[in-house]
Amino acid sequence: MLQKDIQWQSNSIEVLTSVLLLGATESWFDTKNSCSMHLDAARQLILHNISSGLYIPPFFAHWLCWIETLASFVSDDEGLVFSSPLTYTSLTAYATPMRGNDSNAVIDPFLGTWTTLMPLVGRVGGIVRRLRRNKDQLLESDDFSNLIHTAETDLLEWEHPQPQPSLGAAKLRHFYSIAEAYRLSALLTLYNYSRDLLYKRVGLIDEVVTASEFLSQLAYSAIVLLRQIPVDSRLWNVCAIPILSAGQLIPESPNRDFLRSVMNTLAHKTQQAAVAEVGKLLEDVWRRRDAGNEVWWMDLLEETGHPMLVN
pLDDT at 175: 83
| Cβ pair 275, 263 in contact under 8 A | yes
- Tally Cβ neighbours within 10 Å of residue 26: 16
Highest mean pLDDT among 3-17, 39-53, 206-220: 206-220
138, 130 in Cβ contact below 8 A? yes
What pLDDT is stored for residue 91 in this prediction? 57
pLDDT confidence of residue 305: 67
Question: What percentage of the chain carries pLDDT values higher than 90?
Answer: 21
Q: What is the per-residue pLDDT across 160-184, written as a single tens digit (0 to 9) for each?
A: 877 666 667 777 788 889 889 999 9
Q: Which of 64-73, 88-97, 127-136, 234-243 has the lowest mean pLDDT?
A: 88-97
Task: Give the C-alpha separation, 102 to 107, whole Å.
Answer: 10
CA distance 215 to 221: 10
Give the Cβ contact number of residue 182 at 10 Å: 27
Grouping H, G, I as helix, E, B as strand and the rest as coil, residue 305 is coil
Residues 110, 114, 118: CA angle, nearest 5 degrees: 90
Max mean pLDDT range (5-14, 17-26, 29-38, 205-214): 205-214
Confidence class of residue 257 from pLDDT cuts 50, 70 and 90?
very high
Q: State the pLDDT confidence band at 27, using cuts at 50, 70 and 90.
A: low
pLDDT score, position 142: 85
Query: Residues 246-256: what's their mean pLDDT?
Result: 91
Going by C-alpha positions, the residue among 183, 278, 186, 177 that lies closest to residue 235 is 177
Q: Which amino acid is at 221?
A: S
Mean pLDDT on 236-250 = 89
